[in-house]
Amino acid sequence: MIKVIEANYLGDFRIGLALSDGKEGEFDGKALLQRTGPLLEPLRNEDYFRRFFLDAGALCWPNGLELSPARLHETSRSLQAA
């Protein structure tokens, strides 16, 4: 099972990711925010977006939004071996 082991804010709603399979990439939060929903609304504020944290290998926010590592692996750009 793939897990996110490190996440760093890169600016402009982008998060750099390091995954347990040795790959690194970039998650573009702007693509996520093109969707609508109550859990996404707070993330439109960049200060809130930056409050992400890792929990059990998933990328999470304080409002309960959780992005699975497998989904991040599929959608992140530039996934390459570190």
Give the CATH number for residue 55.
3.30.2020.10
Look-up of token digits 């200060």:
47
Query: pLDDT tens for residues 51-71?
Result: 999 999 999 999 999 999 988
Compute the half-sphere exposure of residue 33: CA atoms within 13 Å on the CB side of its CA: 15
Domain count, the chain: 1
Query: pLDDT tens for residues 4-62?
Result: 999 999 999 999 999 999 989 999 999 999 999 999 999 999 999 999 999 999 999 99
> Are 5 and 19 contacting, i.e. CB atoms less than 8 angstroms apart?
yes
The token pair that represents 70 in the structure block = 């497998």
pTM for the structure as a whole: 0.90
Look-up of token digits 């996520």:
32
> Are 69 and 55 contacting, i.e. CB atoms less than 8 angstroms apart?
no
Question: In terms of residue numbers, what domain contains 52?
Answer: 4-81
